[in-house]
Amino acid sequence: MSLRPNERNARAWQLALLVAMLGLWHLASRNQQFAFFLGEPIQVAGRIWSWFLPFDVPANALFPDGLKGNADVYRHLGTTLVETVLAFVIGTVLGLACGLWLALAPTASLILDPYIKAANSMPRVILAPIFSLWFGLGIWSKVALAVTLVFFIVFFNVYQGVREVSPVVLANARMLGANRRQLLRTVYLPSATSWVFSSLHTSVGLAFVGAVVGEYLGSARGVGYLILQAEGTFDVNTVFAGIVVLTGFALLLDALVGLVEKRLLKWQPRSGETEKL
Amino acid sequence: MPPPPDHALEFLDITCTFRSKDDPSQRYTAVADTTLRIAAGEFVSVVGPTGCGKSTLLNIGAGLLQPSSGEVKVFGHALAGINTRAGYMFQSEALMPWRSTLDNVMVGLQYRGVPDDDARAQAQAWLARVGLSGFGDRYPHQLSGGMRKRTALAQVLALDPDIILMDEPFSALDVQTRQLMENEVLELWAAKRKAVLFITHDLDEAIAMSDRVVVLSAGPGTHPIGEFDIDLPRPRDVAEVRTHPRFVELHTQIWNVLRDEVLKGYAQQLKKAA
């Protein structure tokens, strides 16, 4: 087996890159001044350990003070995940419904067009204070913020997807006797699905952004709240630990979307490759 | 056999003018003053130079397009909206890529409220009739061009339409597949005797398959300029009938009419390109 990167050993190369980066980070953090701004990977790992696991670690070479197994992150992580998933589901459903409606109702889309453009180009994060006013400091203000982020991405993709339905397929379905509802179910929706899924990958990430930014601006729990607290005490390691945990869960949700996508879009052609014997 | 007196599809004084969306003063008359009647059970081919408005005529017959003036009658009744008694076989890919072959064939039946089990059984039978049993679970992109056309044919015929509209359905196929498909269509047509309006630019195909060939003039303002009854014996084999002396005779006659139009259409396209 050659060491040159190819499809088969890509995983190993990816891992090697990660280890190299962590190693560099570790070396750089030997310097106390660097460590203050960059954190130390070992301390970050220790922080994640005590967040997730209930086992204490006695003092050792890496952790002279030992590690406490607090397992206290779940309350915060659960809040953030609930906000994210709620925002993701609500935003997707709303985006899908509005996208379908506007794409199929030319008059409505003609009239609403400038408003949609305005709503989309507005920096929506500044809505967070308003949502805090409206929905309080609980999870719903965060959900609302994340919904505004998810909604527009799904909305524009569905809108585009419906407009790009092949006119021949559409004419064919009409000739085969489809009424409006049947057209929606058998032509528009399936045709828009591939567009929707490409948007879902982006919107999972943005649902997280909305939830965390919302927490960051005012909350009593959530990973964003943890990060804010740590930042207040210049605890860079905890900030980095929060970032790592959020990234991990965003990847997990993205993989879930990918799994559903694979099931629903199995009709799409995948370019086959010839096998070398 | 004399054609039955009632007409399946009638185009009466059809004119179709398109207006440019960007510039409403720009108009293009695709079809002008066209009258065409297709009897029930008759196989009529329409030939004409490229870009002369053949597809426009077919779309009007299908009810997908409203004529600027004139009337379309379906079995004596004025057509409003989609022509529900017609099946349409499109020139380009019209199958739903997200449905398997079987699901594509049964979708029309489902639209009509046929229960799923029943629809599936009928679709299965039609797939077998076009030689695709065992391919029901494939998606369109997994099939060859010829198999996709067969699926489209089964999709149209499964609804048992009284009128079949075909828009150069085999133009994208290679010669061998094409002749096979033409023979299959003729066989199916002979069994069911539906009215067929077949659009093509291939004169050989038109003569080999039809009862009557209508020649259209070059656009703009396309209209019929000649009609020829094809009195070749049936059943025909599209490959063998081409060597029939009467075939050659008819071909020469029709080509004499068509040639000038083809040259005219070509000159116009050159002018447009310049």
Q: Which residue of B has its CA nearest to A169?
A: B94
Yes or no, beta carbons of B97 and A193 under 8 Å apart: no
Does the beta-carbon distance from B107 to A191 stay under 8 Å? no
Distance of alpha carbon B264 from alpha carbon B270, whole angstroms: 10
Burial environment of residue B54 by CB neighbours within 10 A (0 to 12, 13 to 18, 19 or more): buried
Question: By the CB < 8 Å criterion, does B28 face chain A?
Answer: no
Nearest CA in chain B to A167: B94
pLDDT digits (tens, 9 = 90+) for B95-136: 999 999 999 999 999 999 999 999 999 999 999 988 888 898
pLDDT at A277 over 70: no
**Cβ neighbours of A193 in B, within 8 Å:** 98
Confidence at residue A18, expressed as pLDDT on a 0 to 100 scale = 94
For residues B38 and B164, the answer to whether their CB atoms sit within 8 Å is no
Q: Which of A49-53, A126-130, A255-259, B218-222 has the lowest mean pLDDT?
A: B218-222
For residue A181, give the chain B residue with the closest CA: B111
Q: Show the domains of chain B with their CATH numbers.
A: 7-84+163-169+195-230+237-273 (3.40.50.300)
Selected residue of A165, A169, A172 to mutate for chain B interface (largest B Cβ count, 10 A): A172
Nearest to B103 by CA among A117, A90, A266, A74: A266
Report whether B202 contacts B54 (CB < 8 A): no
Q: What is the pLDDT of residues B36-65, one digit of tens each?
A: 999 988 999 999 887 778 888 899 999 998
Picking from B88, B94, B111, the nearest residue to A182 by CB comes out as: B111
Using one digit for the tens of pLDDT, what is the confidence trace for A101-148?
888 888 888 898 899 889 888 888 888 888 989 998 888 999 999 999
Tally of CB atoms within 10 A around A172: 27
Instruction: List the single residue in B with minimal CA-CA distance to A191.
Output: B98
Which pLDDT band holds residue B2 (cuts at 50, 70, 90)?
very low
pLDDT exceeds cutoff 50 at B3: no
Decide if B96 and A175 are in contact by the 8 Å CB cutoff.
Answer: no
Integer Cα distance of A221 and A79 in angstroms: 7
CA distances to A116, A144, A162, A272 from A155, rounded to whole Å, are 10, 16, 11, 32
Which residues in A have their CB inside 8 Å of a CB on B?
Answer: 166, 168-169, 171-179, 182, 186-187, 190-191, 193, 267-269
Name the residue among B83, B88, B98 with its Cβ closest to that of A172: B88
Q: Is A219 helix (H, G, I), strand (E, B) or coil?
A: coil
| DSSP code per residue over chain B | -PPPSSEEEEEEEEEEEEE-SS-TT-EEEEEEEEEEEEETT-EEEEE--TTSSHHHHHHHHHTSS--SEEEEEETTEEP-SS-TTEEEE-SS--S-TTS-HHHHHHHHHHHTT--HHHHHHHHHHHHHHTT-TT-TT--GGGS-HHHHHHHHHHHHHTT--SEEEEESTTTTS-HHHHHHHHHHHHHHHHHH--EEEEEES-HHHHHHH-SEEEEEPPSSSB-EEEEEE----SS--TTTGGGSHHHHHHHHHHHHHHHHHHHHHHHHHHHHH-
d(CA B86, CA B74): 9
**A266: enclosing H helix or E strand:** none
Q: Is the pLDDT of residue B189 over 50?
A: yes
* DSSP codes joined into one string, A171-182: HHHHHTT--HHH
Q: Please, what is the end-to-end C-alpha distance for chain A in angstroms?
A: 16
How confident is the model at residue A275, as a pLDDT? Answer: 55
Which residue from B92, B98, B107 is facing A176, i.e. has the nearest CB? B107
Residue of chain B minimizing CA distance to A176: B108
Give the pTM: 0.78
Residue in chain B nearest A172 by alpha carbon:
B94
pLDDT value of position A248: 92
CA A113 – CA A33 distance, rounded (Å): 53
Per-residue pLDDT tens digits for B74-88: 998 888 888 889 999
Mean pLDDT of chain A: 87
Closest chain A residue to the Cα of B59, Cα to Cα: A171
CB proximity B82 to A under 8 Å: yes
Q: Which of A119, A122, A73 is nearest to A246 (CA)?
A: A73
Q: How far is A201 from chain B (nearest CA, A)?
A: 21
Are the Cβ atoms of B155 and A176 closer than 8 angstroms?
yes
By the CB < 8 Å criterion, does B265 face chain A? no
A179 chain-B contacts, CB cut-off 8 A:
111
In this complex, do B111 and A193 lie within 8 Å of one another by their Cβ atoms? no
pLDDT digits (tens, 9 = 90+) for A51-106: 888 888 888 877 877 788 888 889 999 999 999 999 999 999 999 999 988 888 88
CA angle A94, A97, A98 (to 5 degrees): 80
Residue holding tokens 């740590």?
A230
**Tokens at residue B22, please?**
């960007």
| Closest residue by Cα to residue A48 from A245, A223, A212 | A245
Structure confidence at residue A111 (pLDDT): 93
Nearest Cβ partner for A187 among B93, B96, B142: B96
pLDDT tens figures, B174-187: 888 888 888 888 98
Confidence check: pLDDT of B68 > 60: yes
Q: Is B81 on the interface with A (CB under 8 A)?
A: no
A69, A55 Cβ separation under 8 angstroms: yes
Query: CB count, 10 Å around CB of B242?
Result: 15
Q: From the list B84, B94, B139, which residue is nearest A172 (CB)?
A: B94
**Which class would CATH give A74-264?**
mainly alpha
Contact A267 B99 (CB under 8 A): yes
Q: Provide, as residue numbers in chain B, all residues whose Cβ is less than 8 Å from the Cβ of A169.
A: 93-97
Phi, psi dihedrals of residue B235, rounded to the nearest 5°: -70, 150
Dihedral, A138, A144, A149, A154 alpha carbons, nearest 10: 130
- Within the 163-222 window of chain B, which residues sit less than 8 Å (CB to CB) from chain A? none
Mutate to test the interface with A, among B79, B85, B95, B107 (most CBs of A within 10 A): B107
Asked if B259 has any chain A CB less than 8 Å from its own CB, the reply is no
Inter-chain CB pairs, A–B, below 8 Å: 67
Radius of gyration of chain B (CA): 19
pLDDT at residue B175, as a whole number: 86
Contact B90 A269 (CB under 8 A): no
Nearest to B89 by CA among B198, B238, B186, B4: B198
Q: Nearest-CA distance from B250 to chain A in Å?
A: 34
Q: In chain A, what are the domain boundaries?
A: 1-38, 74-264
Q: What would the two tokens of residue A249 be?
A: 């869960």
Q: What is the pLDDT of residue B1?
A: 46
Please answer whether residues B8 and B161 qualify as being in contact, where contact means their C-beta atoms are separated by less than 8 angstroms: no
Q: What is the pLDDT of residues A203-214, one digit of tens each?
A: 888 898 899 999
Tell me: ipTM over 0.90.
no
Other beta carbons less than 10 A from residue B264's beta carbon? 15
Convert the pLDDT of each residue in B131-145 to its tens digit. Answer: 888 898 889 888 888
